[in-house]
Amino acid sequence: MRYFLSFDTSRLPTEEADIVICGSGIGGLTAAIVLKELGLSPLLLTRGIGNTYYSQGGIAGALHPSDSPYVHLLDTLRAGRYLNDEKATEILVNDGVLRIADLERWGVNFDREGDAYATTTEGGHSFPRVLKVKDYTGREIYTKLLRKVEELSIPVLQGELQEILGEDTLQGLIYSCEGRLRFIRAKALILATGGAASMFRHTSNPSKVRGDGIGIAFRAGASIKNPEFVQFHPTVLKGTNLLISEAVRGEGAYLIDSSGNRFVDELQPRDVVARAIFNVLKHNQEVFLDLRPLIGKGIDLKNRFPTIVSFLKERGIDPEREPIPVVPAAHYYIGGVEVDTSGRTSLAGLYAVGECTCTGVHGANRLASNSLLEGVVFGYRVAYRLYLDVKFLKKNSSNFKNLRDAQGIPGFSFEELKALMWDKVGLERNEEELLKAKRTLLMWFESLKRAEPSVENRQLFDILLVALATVEGALSRKESRGVHYRSDYPYEREVFRRDTLVNPEHVLE
């Protein structure tokens, strides 16, 4: 199904723009700023605050004279279980050092100790190279980049992407605003809509970051790469979507079971720590994150982690006196729209950046604090590539029409999809449960093809497409690697040290 909604662009309110950026996280904002600095006129379309704002930990960068981008590269490859695209990863660690300077140029104030950066260690890093702003690094970056967007007079539209228009070449898009559909005729679109971890019952993602942007691109013809790799954050406050940053474990916090025993090296990569917690929970124990050892090291929790301490105390938990109940939760979608190192997709005129993409830099498991780095590095690169490409892209005067008269209702809800994905496609997977998930998803897929072409059903359809791609990837990868763990294939297999590609024709036909 190429288009889901019923529309006729000749009857819709129409706007024109050379370049539209859909999403206002670090990748989208960086691309907008650089394009404007290069003399172009991007238009920013956003449905609100996304994951960048909520990022607590920091941004990795090999800035210290005793560190090096090469060591950062080795740490990233090790965490990614050597599935990383080495060319893209070299770009990440080398260009990342330069992009830190751009962030400061745009107003970001990283913590310092005297003149030097105050850096910290996070899981998987062999050197304290994570720059931070207390425990609200993402909020600092988001607010300063948004302020720069305003200073540069980059227009910002509030709305939600619904359809990407065009066959072999992008010709425009449809978005919704205040219940109405609108048409933008454009030369190029940069997709920066975030990841799809919210399709699991337990997630750290805000409700507006649903992953349906990946599904829209999939319908437009873009392939999804490595969708089986979903990173589960080890420490989300039980009963909420509020994560407790890995930085607290970097500073020396312990993970303990109901008996008060430590059961894992807290600075192992996230997949190892998350599965260790999951295995304790399976035995009807609880898991707690204990910040009290930090006090013994002379760390003032309120000063170092003001955001975390504040939201814990709002919920009646005093981390200075008691351990914090935690569970793993889906946090970061490592797979995504397949792009090259300049953010280009297989559809001419369609680019993508950030968590909605798979650049290959994370391999099978994202190294902590590499995601903000990926957003700024590849946001910069996509802007420079598009500065050159836009001269060859033409606007089309054609109109687009898709008439669907369906009246059915979906045979499921988003909450049911989240429960299915958590139970069958979560931290531990096996062939039998994955096949059950696939059968259920395909049944729901058929019901959605007959469903009313509403915005709500379109959202559900595109999330379902991403879920199906995730299951297809998990079924095809008959090994355990990084965050993808198969209990029926519990070891890495060299024959599977390759990427997974799910093409639209595998699912949509």
Q: Which residue has the tokens 């897929």?
A: 445
Q: Which residues pair with 330 in a beta bridge?
A: 203, 232
Whether residue 351 contacts residue 343, with contact meaning beta carbons closer than 8 Å, is answered with yes
The H helix count followed by the E strand count for the chain is 16, 21
Residue type at 241? N
d(CA 237, CA 248): 13
Instruction: Report, as residue numbers or ranges, the catalytic residues.
Output: 270
- For residue 308, give Cα distances in angstroms to 51, 89, 146, 270, 299: 16, 31, 24, 19, 14
Q: What token pair was written down for 108?
A: 């970001």
d(CA 247, CA 250): 5
d(CA 415, CA 420): 9
d(CA 225, CA 470): 10
Whether residue 459 contacts residue 214, with contact meaning beta carbons closer than 8 Å, is answered with no
Q: What is the distance of C-alpha 476 from the center of its chain?
A: 22
d(CA 144, CA 247): 22
